[in-house]
Structure formats: structure tokens, C-alpha cells
Amino acid sequence: MHSKSHWDWQPGKRIVGSVRCQTDHKWQEELYAAPSGESMAAVVRLEDDSFTMSVNGEPWDFTCDKLWYPRYSPDGRLTALAQVDGEWTMAVDGEVWPDTFAYLWDTRFSTDGSTIAATCQQDGQYGMVADGTAWENLYENASNTTISPDGTKTAAVIQTVNMKPADLAAFRAGVYTVAINGETWAETFMNAWTPIFSPDSARVAAQLRLTLYDYTIAVDGEPWKRLFQCAWEPCFNPASGAVVAPVRVAGQWGMAQDGEILWEPRFAQCWHQHFSADGRTLAAIVATGFGAFTVAVNGVTWNVSLPVITDLVVSADGATVAALGSVFNQDFCVLVNGKTWADRYDMAWKPVISGSDVALKVRRGKKHGYVLNGKNFPKWYDQAWEPVFSPDGKNLLLRVVEGEQMVRLVVPVADFEKGGGI
């Protein structure tokens, strides 16, 4: 039941379980829903002050000193960071990794969920651990951790040598680089940020700061030859393998590809770029002036602007581009291909796209609901999670809480506005 194609896509309503742990306990924390909607979980503190996870109202057999950061992996496994006898490890479906660490945080998953990773600290040294095995080399500092799509590699920005407080000479000489599976790039830099893997997991790109005033992008440790006033997080073209990144030139922002200007620098800001799966469509959030944000698609801006634009999404074929707009995180609206849907919401979550259909979770007051192509689902709920399209795009999975019950709804897209007959 790990792949979406194997989930239950039969339209209808099904009660999954109780939202409350059925064992005596002192308190229960926030609910988390599995991607498939087949289970939901929450950390609970038991009467003896130990912690465990409640899944569909039933506790794990495993208990520990402390449990936090529960997350479902893409393949449906439930993970949480667990403290046992003062040391930290990962609990996966109630079973823990054999090794423990001084601290663990920031759980990461491969695309299919088969690999689970986290950032670790051991004896004052930092690195990453994947499926219980830590890097052989740990470092003075590690940040901006990530995992490759196929799960075979992990990466982080690391500090190569000890640097005394306020040691500006050492800082300017460069003590930061990127480590992949614990092995560093050959060169060190004044700063490095946000390493990202290519879709095939073979290459890594990252932001660099070379001097106090010069920024660029490095790919597999090799900096672009051209320098910029600033650069933001890069990304790979999934078809060609080219690397693009927003860059600042003469006080204006544009887009560079493999070190050459792709979009002329004419924006007050440019960031959060995304490609379509075929690499032909590149969209980014841009600002045409102070507080005037919009979306540019292949360098052409939409004819709408708002104080805030977030959560940009591009369909696989590039034909549909969606984002959220708001007035300083209030009065949320949805923008699709340059058009704004009519309704406004107190809160909205990242859209999901299937073909030309766009759906998302929204909130009005204390009630959570769903909207598809500008039409609201007729029912509103105490709690809800983001919708999921079926592989064929014909149905939507809605995961909601009604009263004391977790409910799984599969609604035909064609019947969405009518409530799918549920």
C-alpha cells in the first residue's frame, strides 16, 4: 500500500479511527495523517511519564523518555525522534535504530521514502545519519542538510576547521564547504548554502559567497566563472541538467543558467524558481517593485501583483502554474496562470496540481475545507490535511477530522462541488 497506485481510490467515506488515544494518558499532542489517509498518529505522554505514539487511537508497544517531530515517510512509515536513556535515536513504526546519538533533528526522506535520514550531533561533532548509519567523518558544524532523491546520498554545508570567535581572518579565508556522505568538496569558501541534488542524484549545486561582495553558484565543487552581487538557491533543469539560480546584477535581480544570464536582471526580487518536468517551463516568484510581487513564467510576468506571493507550483507539462497570494499573510487568494480565484480565505496551503486541475486546503475561521478550480467543497471540518489526486487525476483523497473521528474521503473530481455524494 506504499505507492499511490495501490491506495484505495474507491469513492466514498470511511472512518479510520479515533483521534484520541484509548489508553490512559496525561496529554496528547498534534495529529499527523499518513499520506494514504489510512492512519493518523500523535505523540502521547502516558501516566508513568513515558512517551509513545498513538496510531488510530492505539499506542505503540515502544515507550521512551521523550518523543518528538513525528513524520510519515512517503512510503507510509511513521517516524519520530526518540530519547532513550538520555541519547537520541529514530523510531520507525515502533522500532528504533540500534545506534544512539547525543542529538538528532530534521528528519529527511528520499523521494519514495525508502531511506530515512536526519542531522546528528555526536561528541560535539555534526553530520548526517541515514537508516541508522552516521557519516564516518563528522564536523565542527553542519547545516542546510538534505538527501538525494534516490536516498543513496546525504549532503550538508560543513565547517572544515575550528574558528575562534570573531576570527575574521579565518572567516574571510574560507572555512565552509559541502560534504556529500561525509566527504567534502576540495575547496573551501567564505560561505555556502542550500546544497541541492540533481533529479538523478548524481550532481550537487549550492550557493557560494567567495568574498565579502562576490556570490555565485558551485556545481560539484566548481564555482561558476561569473560572479554576482548575490545569488539565491539553485535548481536543476530536470531535462537538460542545466543549473539555474536567481542572481543580482547592478542592484536588480534576474535568472542565470550555468553562469550566463538567462532572464535579464530587471526585478526587485526573484526567487523560488521551479521547472516543469520536461524542463521547458521555468517559473519564479518575482517583484516588479517594492511590495509588488507576482510570478514570471519563462521571464514573462503575470498582470497581477500582491504584497506577498508564496507556494509556487508548476504542473508536469508546464501548462498550469499556481501560487498563493496574500496581504501580509492575511486574506489569502489563489492565482492560476495569472488569474485570481474569486474567494478569499483566512489561511491557505500549497496547491497541488493534476493536469489542469488545481486543489488545495483552506481555512475560514476555525473550520478547514477544500477548494478545486475555484469551487469550494460543500463541507467544512474541524481539521484537515492537504488533498491528494489519484494517479489518473479522476479522484481526490481528503483526510479530515469529524468530531472524535479521523475520516478518509475519496471524492470524484467531477462531483467535487456537490460533495461527491458523501
pLDDT at 1: 47
pLDDT at 258: 98
DSSP codes joined into one string, 248-279: EETTEEEEEETTEEEEEEEESEEEEEEE-TTS
Residue segments in the chain with a per-residue pLDDT below the cut of 50: 1
Cell of 134: 552516521
Write out the H or E segment, with its range, that includes residue 312.
strand 308-314
Where are any strands of DSSP class E within 98-161?
103-109, 116-122, 125-130, 133-134, 141-147, 154-159
CA angle 310-316-317, nearest 5°?
Answer: 115
pLDDT at 157: 98
What tens digit of pLDDT does each residue of 325-336 get? 999 888 999 999
pLDDT at 2: 65
